[in-house]
Structure 1
Amino acid sequence: MTLAETPTDPPVPLRHNRDFHMLWGGAGLVVLGGRTTAFAYPLTVLWTTGSARTAGLVGFALLLPYLLIQLPGGAVVDRCDRRRLMLLCATGSALVAAGVAAALLSGAVWLPHLLASAFAEGCLLTLYQLAERAAVPAVVTPEQLPSALVRNEARTRAASVLGQPVGSGLAGVAAGLPFVFASVAHAASLGFLARARGPFQEVSEVPRRTIASEVREGLRWLWGQHFLRAVIAAIAVTNVLFQGLNLSVMAAMKGDGRSALSIGLVTMLSGAGGLVGSLSAGRWMRRCTLRTLVVGGLVAWTALMVPVAGLHQPVVLGALFAASGYVGGVFNVVAGVLLTGTAPSHMQGRANSVVILVSSGAMATGPLIAGNLLEAVGSARTILIFSVVMGITALLTALSPGVRAGAALPVPKE
């Protein structure tokens, strides 16, 4: 039983669930602020210093916490008051963004300050996202969980679509404005969390141990989930492939003389497709089994990736990327329902941290692999190689004993 239920009263419908909406709205503002600064950090450094290497260094500092603190962060989320932790992280993010804004607006661009700020923001946002994901199952009923995750995925996709133009547009006016916007968004999220009434976790009777032992417990539990383990492995491979595909398409379009605006259009259409896909995920989960959705998504990605090798027109590529994003939106909701519906309440933080760690670590290798392949065989052959690997991933996932035993997902309810 979750905190959204009592033994005598019927559960509150999701559309009237105050705590879920406060959690959803607050996290939406935090995600939007984070997406804005994620784009603004390297753009601002590149614009003010002219050094692509320095811009990449700041971007690396922002992403490094996703690799360093995921596992201990998951244990912290499981043992701390999640609502209080989110309030502290949102407050810290607002202060960090405000500090960067003040420095940039005064003309004081100091690289060590930007590196430290980017790293601190990455740490705070990582902890916030882990706590928010772990809190969702505690504020909704198990039957409402799929619908709740559909809304969360749609929110994240919408923030991703909006964050890039907001960051670039404000940076074009003044370098510090994206960080002013982010600081205000983080501060506004505090109002949503402050209005939530209930706690964001169940009271656990599991005795506390060291963080290291709790991390190991989470890893052992996840390793024993055969279906989930196979899905996470597939996600890791596809993240590598799509990061490499993005770089390959950029190289191909640049070689054809296309503008940076055309590349941005393709990326934006991918995000828009993901938004639509996340909103329609509930319909797919009502009609298909878990195994069908996972394997079908991988097969669809393979079919959509192959023509990218020979088609470089922005409109055609945009359509293909939008379709791939649609599949990704559905896939992410399915994976979220599987993870949060399987993991015990006291282990939600650690379960999510492992999945994000695998995904983040995999994504970091994609551009590196693609860069070497592009130098060796060119963009068209690189994309075809990625297509073959995607097809093999689909086949191996379909043949996996854990995936073959997959059961149907619960029907989303309001």
Structure 2
Amino acid sequence: MRPGRENPSTARLTLGHHPPVRLLRRLALDLTPLRTSRDFRLVFAAAGVSGFGSFITYVTLPYQVYQLTGDPLLVGLLGVCELVPLLLMAFVGGALADYLDRRRLVLGGEIGFTLLCGVLLVNSLSASPHLWLLYVVAAATAALDGVQRPAMEGLTPRIVAPDQIPAAGALNSLRMDVAQLGGPAVAGVLIASVDLAWVYAIDLATFAFSLACLTLVRAVPPPPAADRPSLRSVVTGLRYARSRPELLGTYLVDINAMFFGMPQALYPFMAEKLGGPAVLGLLYAAPAAGSLLATVSSGWVKHVHRHGLMVVLAAGAWGLAVVGFGLSGWLWLALLFLVLAGAADMVSGLFRMTIWNQTIPDHLRGRLAGIEMLSYSTGPLLGQLRSGLVARTPLGVTGSIVSGGVLCVLGTIALAAALPAFLRYDGRDGLARKQAEDAAWSATAPTRVTPDPAPDPAR
């Protein structure tokens, strides 16, 4: 070989071991679940398309309340209307997800969401849209979400291999990020340019694709000797959650962060200060942009085992970013802090999902998913009410946001001090525990129960 010339194959090998290349590979999003699981691909596509449309409505519904009333408290009350049915139905949905075919529950929920979106469309076509109907639909949507979401969360560990759960969680987060980023941005443009009926119509159209995909997903039967839905079965799930400090940590830290640091109900009022209705969609989309950045560079997550510590650090970062957002007087700075907040929230979410899916035994997965849903839903819903109430005090909109961010950071520090076992939690121990508990449950299941075989994650 001539001097100064390098063998091409050797050059490629050397490049592959170059530190920057190794770093990029370590950060790159793992697509293995999409390649290996047919059912995961179908669920991923269905949830992605319908989620995009749902986030359009997610922005449009509070905007319509704001348009009809101009009152921040009435916008925040949407959260209260969603909270009560969610508190009740999340436990019901969790118990059902451990007893019935989870795929059927997800499909039934999607049909219900389609009908509710149709109600919003018809109401928007009225010459005088009914305000009370918006609250009713918000409550019904939350109730239906309480039934469907535990089944959806419970699908993941059944349709992908255990070692692919962190990658599947990152992909699900990517799907959500794209919907959160694109849906609100499109909603902002639509709200500023067309009648609200067209906005709801677009959401309605996305459900056709979702329903088609979900009908192709194969059955996901319940685990052996599944517990019948009952108050006793719900209590069993609650006792299990209480017995696991790492699970309690994920719930409490997130509730604290969202209750104090969730300013979404005030976005329409911040938009007035920062540029008008046209920037409203940008405010909703900015956290999703941060989440997306965190997700596409999430390959490092599988190499970190101190999951509890990462949740605490991310929650503290969220609170600091919210403080920065509240103090921002320029649109670009406000968007930057929202991007940082979204990235921190996604890091927290990735580690919380990994803890849940890698450590909870399958026969309790639905009920614990219901508890999880309450943890990541009640905080934001109550947080919207809190922010709306505080904004009506002399503190105003800015004071409401800033004080909430500060309290988020202080609460996170207090919880970290109160839950030392959560800070020390190692994900490798959790996975081993789940495998042992699944084996023990199967070994003690009544012999008279003969469920259908579990689906192959590699389909």
What TM-score, normalized to structure 1?
0.83
Counterpart secondary structure, 1:32: helix
Counterpart secondary structure, 1:79: coil
The match for 1:9 is: none
Residues 120, 156 of structure 1: alpha-carbon distance in 2 compared, 3 angstrom cutoff: same
Given the alignment, which residue of 237, 246, 264 partners 1:227?
A: 246
Alpha-carbon separation, structure 1, partners of 2:79 and 2:242: 32
Counterpart secondary structure, 1:200: coil
Given the alignment, which residue of 347, 355, 359 partners 2:376?
A: 359
The answer to whether residue 43 in structure 2 is matched with residue 30 in structure 1 is: no
Given the alignment, which residue of 343, 348, 351 partners 1:334?
A: 351
Q: Deviations over 1:54-103 (max 9, x none)?
A: 76666754565323311122112221211112222212222332344245
The answer to whether residue 285 in structure 2 is matched with residue 265 in structure 1 is: no
Alpha-carbon separation, structure 2, partners of 1:101 and 1:169: 18
Alpha-carbon separation, structure 2, partners of 1:50 and 1:238: 29
Identity %: 23
Alpha-carbon separation, structure 2, partners of 1:227 and 1:37: 35
The one-letter code of the counterpart of 2:182 is: L
The match for 2:439 is: none
Alpha-carbon separation, structure 2, partners of 1:194 and 1:294: 36
The one-letter code of the counterpart of 2:180 is: S
The match for 2:210 is: 189
**Kept in 1: contact 2:93–2:150 (CA 8 A):** yes
Most deviating of 131-140 and 87-96: 87-96
1:148 deviates by 0.4
Residues 311, 57 of structure 1: alpha-carbon distance in 2 compared, 3 angstrom cutoff: closer
Counterpart secondary structure, 2:220: coil
Q: Deviations over 1:3-49 (max 9, x none)?
A: xxxxxxxxx964131011111111223322322223233434554x4
Alpha-carbon separation, structure 2, partners of 1:63 and 1:168: 26
1:399 deviates by 5.8
Which segments of 5 or more consecutive residues in structure 2 lack a partner in the other structure? 1-31, 432-457
Alpha-carbon separation, structure 1, partners of 2:209 and 2:265: 35
Most deviating of 225-234 and 398-407: 398-407
Given the alignment, which residue of 336, 348, 353 partners 1:319?
A: 336
**Kept in 1: contact 2:77–2:385 (CA 8 A):** no
1:129 deviates by 2.2
Which segments of 5 or more consecutive residues in structure 1 lack a partner in the other structure? 1-11
Alpha-carbon separation, structure 1, partners of 2:266 and 2:135: 28
Counterpart secondary structure, 1:325: helix
Alpha-carbon separation, structure 1, partners of 2:407 and 2:388: 18
The match for 1:278 is: 295
1:300 deviates by 2.9
Alpha-carbon separation, structure 1, partners of 2:304 and 2:381: 35
The one-letter code of the counterpart of 2:38 is: R
The one-letter code of the counterpart of 1:37 is: T
The one-letter code of the counterpart of 1:241 is: F
Alpha-carbon separation, structure 2, partners of 1:151 and 1:18: 14
**Kept in 2: contact 1:20–1:136 (CA 8 A):** yes
Counterpart secondary structure, 1:33: helix
CA RMSD of aligned residues (A): 3.3
Alpha-carbon separation, structure 2, partners of 1:36 and 1:266: 13
The answer to whether residue 231 in structure 2 is matched with residue 212 in structure 1 is: yes
The match for 2:258 is: 239
Alpha-carbon separation, structure 2, partners of 1:117 and 1:304: 32
The answer to whether residue 195 in structure 2 is matched with residue 174 in structure 1 is: yes
What TM-score, normalized to structure 2?
0.75
1:140 deviates by 0.6
